[in-house]
Copies of this chain bind each other. A is one copy, B any other.
Amino acid sequence: MSLPEPLPDADPSEQEALVVFTPSGKRGHVPRGTRVLQAARMLGVDLDSVCGGRGICSKCQIAPQFGEFPKHGLTATPDALSPRNAVEDRYDRIRGLEEGRRLGCQATIEGDIVIDVPPESQVHRQVVRKDADARAIVMDPATHLHFVEVAEPDMHEPRGDCERLAEALREQWGIAGTVVPLSVLARLQTALRKGNWSVTVALWRGDDGPARVIDVWPGFHEGRIYGLAVDVGSTTIAAHLTDLRNGTVRASAGVMNPQIRFGEDLMSRVSYAMMNPGGDREMTRAVREAIDGLADTLAQQAGVTARDIVEAVFVCNPVMHHLLLGIDPVELGQAPFALAMSGALDLEARDLGLRQINEAARIYVLPCIAGHVGADAAAVALSERPDLSDDLVLIVDVGTNAEILLGNRERVLACSSPTGPAFEGAQISAGQRAAPGAIERVAIDPVTKEPRFKVIGCDLWSDEPGFAEAIAGTGVTGICGSGIIEAVAEMRMAGIVDAAGLIGSAEQVGSPRCEAQGRTHAYLLWDGTATGGPRISVTQGDIRAIQLAKSALYAGARLLMDAMGTDRVDRVVLAGAFGAHISPKHAMVLGMIPDVPLEAVRSAGNAAGTGARIALCSVAARREVERLVRRIHKVETAIEPRFQEHFVAANAIPHASDPFPNLARIVTLPEPSFNTGGGGEGRRRRRG
């Protein structure tokens, strides 16, 4: 598509027309007869086209606006646009063209006019995130579809089909020096002939290097292309199948990380690799197979073929990162915790042995920050952008390992803290993952010490009429991460647990629900034995597990505050798969997070996953996070003596020494003391 010649000698008012594009407001004079798509390109207006202006793809649909526009200083008469032509009529007949819409590659500008570009016709449209506080994602994916017409070979044209395709991409799309991998090359000749010398290519341009063809389809490809945003956690692998055209999540799913069988937390997996020759390779194989399975599940859920998944973005902590890449994580088991590779990676599907997604799919792995602060923390930073915050924000991404960021426009610090899997319901006697039947909310009457609760899959509280019937299908099966946090906090508020974390006896508490278990006590939440279900209690061991986890989290946050030279933060963002379900009040009663006004605590959902999605949808965001990680200063928790001090002080509920004035304003905590016996503080702590 060549631009029309300028018309220097003619009277502009005769030969040219004023066109104003909305919503961009871009305006200018173009020769009458100029196609709208051409005019958009001349004026730098974001108007999509996959077919390159051939009236096939309909991605360039525009909405002409007629009438008086004093604001723009023009009046648009109905003849300001050429009448609908045969190509548009045919398109309307076959695929339907909405009332008031025209094809930008067909309609020509014949007089002054205002042209609206609807969101779906914009390449760089904004993707609205559910989270109202969050910035919008502007679509800027690495992979686009391009329709091209390729010159036919003849006996006197020495170049191969591939070279003629590259030439067509240069001529028709201005994209020079395309690389075609062998896997695509093997299909190219068939596609060209089947498409009668036109094909649609998926073209990746994710770095400064040459464009890469990921796939090729005969003729105009009606289908879409997709990307996977994958968050490889120690416990869970979560992925979103995303439409690369508009950023829509078409399907989401999670699976347990099968590496769990080699060790529950990160350090036990590093140990497994150290103790078992080839153990790292076993774990690499396991996680890659799980990702393959997840890709397959998502494609089926969304009803798309896995071959149309042409990109994947990965975020993960450094141990998961190394195991995913096939690197023995042994160096992460000891100071100075040297990463094999800290930078972002552009890879191919085969580098990770992925077999379900497109053979030539491109992989982007976010950069790690340093040591145990990995690509997951980088993704959280990309999603939450603490570096753009005016006030001091603490972001905690709660998982098996907690990623903690503290910062503002001046400075951003980060650390990783080994909370262990207790917050995810593991290491809890009745713990289970968040699934129907799991207790997710708990309230305890401070007078009667009687509990009520809600289970996932049922809207009723356990003391409301109809609860028994409502849960008949699932039963009450256990307690999930957010449930155990609420339970412990409620027990603390009801005086069932003291500040040291000890559960009182039935006599001390004044409730038969406090049952003796050896030398300690457990609080009975639910007795389901009458209907063949379990007895669900919160045991002294459960309290200890939660104390260890929350102390690690708080100590990490405090270490960052020390490094920042402050003892208070302005606001707290709770991220992580289950961050969304934690009640800020209960989190603060427990002393998981520093004391701030309750309204200054916000849940950001799965920020790491969101960061992965942003990077999937935007090349600019990839460059942004690469710059951002270089600005983030890592604070090492593992060898910092103050971490241990903070950890010990944070063991009390909510804290042994730090005041919680904001919390005190809304909650009055009773202060019983249940005779500190042999608590069992000596359990070995591990990272992750």
Contacts and interface: CB of A to CB of B under 8 A. Distances in A.
Interface of A: 153-155, 157-163, 180-182, 185-186, 188-190, 209, 325-328, 330-331, 335-343, 347, 350-351, 368-371, 634, 636, 639
Given A185-B325, A185-B341, A336 B160 contact: no
A181 B352 CA distance: 12
Contacts of A342: 158-160, 162-163
A186 B327 contact: yes
Contacts of A155: 335-337, 371, 636, 639
Q: Closest 9 CB pairs between A and B? A: A158-B370, A160-B342, A153-B338, A160-B339, A162-B341, A160-B341, A155-B336, A153-B336, A154-B336
Given A326-B182, A328-B189, A338 B161 contact: yes
Contacts of A159: 339, 342, 370
Main secondary structure of the interface of A (DSSP, over half): loop
A182 B348 CA distance: 11
Contacts of A186: 325-328, 340
A381 to B, nearest CB: 14
Contacts of A347: 182
A327 B209 contact: no
A180 B341 contact: yes
Contact of A189 (B153, B327, B369): B327
Contacts of A340: 160-162, 185-186, 188-189
Among A342, A350, A639, chain B packs the most CB atoms within 10 A around the CB of A342
Given A182-B325, A189-B328, A325-B182, A163 B370 contact: no
A251 B342 CA distance: 41
Contacts of A153: 336, 338
Contacts of A185: 325, 327, 340-341
Given A157-B370, A161-B338, A182-B351, 19 more contacts: A153-B336, A155-B336, A155-B639, A158-B369, A160-B342, A160-B368, A161-B331, A161-B339, A162-B341, A182-B325, A182-B326, A182-B347, A186-B327, A186-B328, A186-B340, A188-B340, A189-B330, A189-B338, A209-B209
Contacts of A331: 161, 189
A346 to B, nearest CB: 10
A371 to B, nearest CB: 7
A153 B370 CA distance: 11
